[in-house]
Amino acid sequence: MPRAAGASLVRFPADALNNRYWLVRAGESYSESFGEPLTNPVWKTSERHGLSPLGKEQVLRGLTPDLESLGACNDGCWLWPSITQNAYQTAEVVAYTLGIGRSRIVPEYSFLDARGVGALENERLEFARRIVEEGDLLDAGWKPQKGTDGTPHESINDVLVRMRQVLSITETQYFGDDVLLIAPDSDCLSVLQAAVLGVDLRQHRRYAFRPGEVRPLQLSTVAFDSRPVSFSCPDPPKCTRRADT
């Protein structure tokens, strides 16, 4: 009997998924090697986002052997890279090295974009990262200051919306497959991993990825609680005490 069709909106934490996921950070880009954030989407297909010489080494000598040792893609897999050049080139190298057909590369046009850093786009990469890290510890809704060139300025919550969307698509489209999500930066992947585990999103950097690193997506030991939540309100509108359910 064919499996009944149905959309799969992923809810967090998640203790079960239809597919096996591998989170992959692309190899280092030229812009990263130059110390440039370059998170404005208009640059995604620029050569400045292509794999640097070190990035190519990270993919060939690190990522590909790690995928084989982890047992990823033993029976084939789907590669979902951002169209940002270093991510897509990473997918192409992995596909060629592991003998995976190019028809298995599914370009992702927006959900796997690098996190937008707003006005920090014009700063040095290390400075921008430090400011974002400090802000993230304050609140999952914290955003970098808005810039003037159209670069998105995204919070952790903004990134999570995108990652929930891409995961919901792959959960609807595939069943029982290996899927590699290949992102140009770390935040997309670390935010997703923290959300799946049910960890405080402000602590997502506990799961940060190095360029060219791959890890299996870890599932939570606790299922999403779909029961309605009710609250008592003895002193409206100050509803602060949860009622017994």
- What pLDDT is attached to residue 45? 96
User: Across all residues in the chain, what is the average pLDDT?
Assistant: 92
- What pLDDT is attached to residue 222? 72
Within the chain, residue ranges assigned H as helices are 30-33, 53-57, 64-70, 85-98, 125-138, 156-173, 187-197
- What pLDDT is attached to residue 143? 98
- What pLDDT is attached to residue 155? 99
Domains detected in the chain: 20-242 (3.40.50.1240)
Sheet containing 78-81, strands listed edge to edge, beginning at the edge strand earlier in sequence = 78-81, 178-183, 20-25, 214-216
* pLDDT tens digit sequence for 62-110: 999 999 999 999 999 999 999 999 999 999 999 999 999 999 999 999 9
- What pLDDT is attached to residue 204? 98
- Given a contact cutoff of 8 angstroms between Cβ atoms, the answer to whether 80 and 162 are in contact is no
Q: What is the DSSP letter of 60?
A: I
Angle between helices 156-173 and 187-197 (to 10 degrees): 70
Residues of the chain with pLDDT under 50: 241-245
- What pLDDT is attached to residue 243? 44
- Given a contact cutoff of 8 angstroms between Cβ atoms, the answer to whether 190 and 207 are in contact is yes
- What pLDDT is attached to residue 245? 40
